[in-house]
Structures are given as structure tokens and as C-alpha cells.
Amino acid sequence: MARTNTTKSRAPSQRQLRVGELLREALTETFARAPIRDPILAATAITVTEVRATADLKQARIFVMPLGGGDGAAVIEALRRAAPYLRSEVARRVKLRYAPALEFELDRSFDESSHIDDLLNQVSSRHE
């Protein structure tokens, strides 16, 4: 009987978590020190909130947030254009067999948590 690989239901392994943290640190250092020619990225401070690596470590989804509430869609588009350069910088800083393909996504967890707080405050104010 063949084992089924249900990666969506499994928690990430220790290796995935370690590599994700190394990638996050490398990207943060790259944003702070490396010369990025894109005017949108050069003018925007970017926070890397989380990196999720796939089980084979060949792809990584990077969750970012522009500081100061900048235009998130423009920043994500600029990061996608700069992905090959960022991948090479990450490969220089993190020693892995393969440099993972980088996929950038806007981190919406702050918006969601703010929305939940608002809902909870509304509920608590109704009960008082």
C-alpha cells in the first residue's frame, strides 16, 4: 500500500522552519544592505514577516509588509520583478543545495487581527 503525501495537512518540519528563518534573515539583510535599483523598493522599508519553505526546499513563499502603510500591490509587483536578483542574493547568504524560487505575498495577518479586535470590541461594548 502506497503512502500518500498530504503536505497541506501536515505541519512544517523542523528543517523547513529553520530554512525559512534563515531565508527571512537573508532577505532582511538584503533589503537593508544590498543595492536595489527598483525605485519602489529603494523608497519603501519592507518587513519580512514570515517565510514558508516547501518540503523539498525548492520554493519559498515570503510574506512581506511595507512599513508606513505604503501601496502593497506596487511593492509586491516590484518584488516579483526583483525576484531573480533577490534569489541570487539569498543563495550567496544561505548555503543550500538549491536556491529556492521566491514567491512574494502581502501579509494580511495584521489586517485580519485588527478586524478581529474591532469585532471583539464591538461585542464587548454591546454587552456593557
> Whole-angstrom Cα distance, residue 67 to residue 46?
6
Contacts for 65 with CB less than 8 Å, ≥ 6 apart? 46, 47, 49, 72, 106, 107, 110
Instruction: Could you please state the CATH topology (level 3) that the domain comprising 14-127 is classified under.
Output: GMP Synthetase; Chain A, domain 3 (3.30.300)
Read off the pLDDT of each residue in 60-75 and give the average, rounded to a whole number: 85
Contact, 70 vs 44, CB < 8 A? yes
Amino acid 60: pLDDT: 93
pTM: 0.76
pLDDT at 59: 92
Asked whether the CA dihedral 75, 46, 98, 4 is positive or negative, the reply is negative
Average pLDDT over residues 108-123: 70
Residue 8 binned pLDDT confidence (cut-offs 50, 70, 90): low
Phi then psi for residue 49, to 5 deg, are -85, -35
Q: Where are the domains of the chain?
A: 14-127
